[in-house]
Amino acid sequence: MSMLLVRQAVLADDQGVASLLRDVPINPRKVADLIRQRGVFVLADLTLPLSARPVAAAIVRYDRAAGTAQLVGIGVLASLRRRGLGRRLLAGVLMSLRAEGFERVYACAGSLSAGASLLASAGFADEGNAAQPAGRRRFTLML
């Protein structure tokens, strides 16, 4: 799978994005609003038709005044997990955030989850459990 593109989601992606992010704590009805706010990124397989659903998605919330962003969650198509697609999507999202002038990115993940491992491998620092629900840890990356 080498013909992949990280791009901003468009409204036509909303159902595919919602299904990819079903484990992310966000109301699926809010996905279209987040797409309009340019807060949803997808990883698209360029070998598939343009109408094909993305293979991975990420949601980001922005605080432009503070120069920070919160990575709300990443989802990868179940049949394609453990192939580095989440890492490719995260790298593209972080590159976009840097280009837009963001200075810091926050994220939360379960202590021993694949998400925590992905964040640590991308350079996020584990801040521990500060003000997070039980079993979740906060991570920070300076861009």
Q: Which residues contact 79 (CB under 8 A, 6 or more apart)?
A: none
Residue range of the domain that includes 124 = 4-142
Q: What is the 3-state secondary structure (H, E, C) of the chain?
A: CCCEEEEECCHHHHHHHHHHCCCCCCCHHHHHHHHHCCCEEEEEECCCCCCCCCCEEEEEEEECCCCEEEEEEEEECHHHCCCCHHHHHHHHHHHHHHHCCCCEEEEEEECCCHHHHHHHHCCCEEEECCCCCCCEEEEEEEC
More confident residue, 93 or 115: 93
Domain count, the chain: 1
pLDDT at 128 over 80: no
Q: What is the pLDDT of residues 52-109, one digit of tens each?
A: 999 999 999 999 999 999 999 999 999 999 999 999 999 999 999 999 999 999 999 8
Q: What is the pLDDT of residues 27-49, one digit of tens each?
A: 878 888 999 999 999 999 999 98
CATH number at residue 25: 3.40.630.30
Question: What local confidence, expressed as pLDDT, does residue 133 receive?
Answer: 63
How much is the pTM?
0.90
Calpha distance 9→79 (Å, rounded): 21
